Amino acid sequence: MMEVIQGVYKISGIWDQADLGANVYLLGLGGGFTLVDTGYRTKYRQILKRIYRLGFAPTRIRHIIITHHHPDHTGGLAALKELTGAKAVAHKLDAPYIDGRLPQAGPSRPGWLKSGSGLFSGMLATPPANIEIEVEDGDDLPVAGGIKIIHTPGHTPGSICLYLKQEGLVFTGDLLARRLGVKLPSMVFTADIPQEISSIRKLAELDFETACFGHGFPLRKDAGKKVAEFASKLLLLRGNTKP
Ligand SMILES: [Zn+2]
Ligand SMILES: [Zn+2]
């Protein structure tokens, strides 16, 4: 468990292992509680236990924001909504995958479609959950003291980053990951790579100090600068990136 900045917690396990699938964050800002992403389907009890351990009653969670529709981010949503009464928030283009109107999409690279899609029908199968608040680019969500929605498609059509301007903090979802440095997410699971790169450049224009990733440890210093450096490196690669 890590307090990234005051009131923002990364919910994780023993020795801070990312054992929930993707990182899950708890925001105790603006007088309410908000969860960002929900881990795999089977992890919701651990998430609730860890929120208790931080000293907060999970029933105080009013909103659960989903950065994109992949099962390592949405798995616990249905159960957590039921147990907390929270409202779910997601981009309108990913909402249909989350509420079951569209089938859960598998890995996007050819060749992985056959071998990888079994993962999505087995233990990763995610129960559908309704999205009460569908958001779009530029929306100001009156949650956690104010969150600006940045639509950053590529990894999925409705991937979003969350910008907390006052705190100088962004949640990147799987637009970026952190492994040693700032990196691209899994390319196998990324639907549109050129679009992904444009979205990283869009994020790089924002002013922020701290970045919380879907996978990997938060960057707590100079995050905006590091993302901008990474974005300019990607421009050089762009010609070689085959979808
Ligand atoms: Zn992920
Ligand atoms: Zn993903």
Residue 72 Cα to ligand 2 middle (Å): 7
Residue 14 Cα to ligand 2 middle (Å): 23
pLDDT above 90: residue 190: no
Residue 173 Cα to ligand 1 middle (Å): 7
CA dihedral 140, 214, 72, 100 (to 10 degrees): 20
Residue 90 Cα to ligand 2 middle (Å): 14
| pLDDT value, residue 77 | 97
| pLDDT value, residue 239 | 53
SS3 63: strand
CA distance 229 to 101: 39
pLDDT above 70: residue 120: no
Which tens digit of pLDDT belongs to each residue from 124-146? Answer: 678 999 999 999 999 999 999 99
Which tens digit of pLDDT belongs to each residue from 53-106? Answer: 999 999 999 999 999 999 999 999 999 999 999 999 999 999 999 999 998 766
Residue 26 Cα to ligand 1 middle (Å): 17
| pLDDT value, residue 228 | 96
Question: Which are the contacts of 203, defined by CB distance < 8 A and separation ≥ 6?
Answer: 150, 152, 161, 170, 172, 175, 176, 227, 231
- Given a contact cutoff of 8 angstroms between Cβ atoms, the answer to whether 70 and 159 are in contact is no
| pLDDT value, residue 130 | 98
Domains of the chain: 2-240 (3.60.15.10)
Question: Which are the contacts of 70, defined by CB distance < 8 A and separation ≥ 6?
Answer: 22, 156, 174, 189
CA distance 95 to 69: 7
Ligand that lies nearest to the alpha carbon of residue 39, given by its number in the listed order: 1
| pLDDT value, residue 113 | 45
Mean pLDDT over each residue of the chain, to the nearest integer: 88
Residue 119 pLDDT level (bands cut at 50, 70, 90)? low
CA distance 218 to 200: 17
SS3 161: strand
More confident residue, 98 or 189: 98
